[in-house]
Amino acid sequence: MLAFPKYESYQNSDISWIQELPVTWKIERAKWLFEKMERPVRPEDDVVTAFRDGQVTLRKNRREEGFTNAIQEHGYQGIRKNDLVIHAMDAFAGAIGVSDSDGKSTPVYSVCVPRGEFYVNNYYYAYLIRYMAKSGFIQSLSKGIRERSTDFRFNDFANLCLPIPSKEEQDRIVEFLDRTTSDIDRAITQKQRLIELLQEQKAILINQAVTKGLNLNVPMRDSSVEWLGKIPEHWQVRRAKYLFQEVDERSTTGEEELLSVSHITGVTPRSEKNVNMFMAEDYSGSKLCHKDDLVINIMWAWMGALGVANQTGIVSPSYGVFRQIKPDTFNSWYLESLLRSIEYVAQYNRISTGLHSSRLRLYAHMFLSMEILFPPKEEQDQIEAITIDRIREIDAAINAIDREIKTLEELRSVLISEAVTGKIKV
């Protein structure tokens, strides 16, 4: 910020969220800058959507979950390219921008067009109002007007006092912010891609270690299992029924730690997860599992939803709980990583039953008939120790890049806020 000059002098704006403005800037209520436009809809108009990242575009341009195709064809209003659009219910989250297309929207959108008395660059005011949203001002204003509501309607917008830089300054600020934020966004995208590549590298590292071992120069042999391929010569393959037994112990009190099983975190206490799922009043009769038991979420095994418990707890009665027949046959980390490897998850998908992919079930007899690959226990321990050391190095790199992304995001936010409020002269 020190590299940018300031304006020669400032005035008290009497606007709480801006405080000082350059003395050459005017201040006026939004209703004298914009009017709400309610146009008729044309037959060729397609649906326009305002997204929280500030893009306002045809819905078909961004296929995202959460949209319904069963939209009633009534109550629409016309939108034209370059209109300033404010999503009343999502404005607090940044759903404010300039439309890049002609189209139509529901009345939940405020379509704002300049009145003409003052020069208005819609893109400047989109940056300004999004800054207000990101700083929490719109949310606090909305809640103050309507208790427990975050709606930001045109009347709320119309009564806001807004700064009015000159035509040249508005255009210059927009040009500057378009250029600099594009550069920052491009750098963020590149760093996010690098994180994705490192995550992929980590997954490949684990997969390689648990299915092929650490030393790629050891003699290999055919596993005699098509989907496992070649394995180290000294490793064993046995059906799960010779290594595990299904257990069905039940809690009498339901007071043990409640555990959940997911494809992301394995077996973890429900109390550590930020979920809003239904909680039963009584968990007596739930399945018990103990440390080192393998727990499989039957309904989501096809996604790798399984893990090895590191504590005693209770799980859903519909989960499968399996215990090693000979204790200490498996290192828990190795077993969980193996059974969540690419090869095993693909096999769950092949042998599970269900009408379609999202309804597949991996029942106990299916798992117990599967071939389980395992090296000597000492080698499993070594695989865990060395792989985790390598993972720590990758995680350190990911964390460093993530900090860089956060710094860039902060820089982007500061540049916008300083430019649109005249704290810096661009």
Running along the chain, 426 residues long, what does each successive block of 10 average in pLDDT?
Answer: 86 87 95 94 93 93 58 75 94 94 94 92 96 85 57 90 96 97 97 98 96 94 96 97 97 92 92 64 90 96 95 94 96 97 96 82 96 96 97 98 97 95 94
Side chain identity, residue 5: P
User: What is the model's pLDDT at position 138?
Assistant: 82
User: What is the model's pLDDT at position 275?
Assistant: 56
- Torsion of Cα atoms, 4 then 9 then 12 then 13, to 10°: -60
Tell me, yes or no, if the pTM score tops 0.75. yes
Cβ neighbours for 82, distance < 8 A, ≥ 6 positions apart = 98, 99, 122
User: What is the model's pLDDT at position 149?
Assistant: 56
User: What is the model's pLDDT at position 253?
Assistant: 92
User: What is the model's pLDDT at position 69?
Assistant: 47
Cβ neighbours for 386, distance < 8 A, ≥ 6 positions apart = 209, 214
Is 34 within 8 Å of 28 (Cβ atoms)? no
Phi, psi values for residue 421, rounded to 5°: -105, 5
Side chain identity, residue 254: G
User: What is the model's pLDDT at position 71?
Assistant: 46
User: What is the model's pLDDT at position 347?
Assistant: 97
Question: What's the N-to-C CA distance of the chain in angstroms?
Answer: 11
Residue 51 in tokens: 């997204």
Place of tokens 């103050």: 144
Domains in the chain with CATH codes: 26-65+74-164 (3.90.220.20), 167-213+375-426 (1.10.287.1120), 219-274+283-374 (3.90.220.20)
Is 214 within 8 Å of 334 (Cβ atoms)? no
User: What is the model's pLDDT at position 357?
Assistant: 67
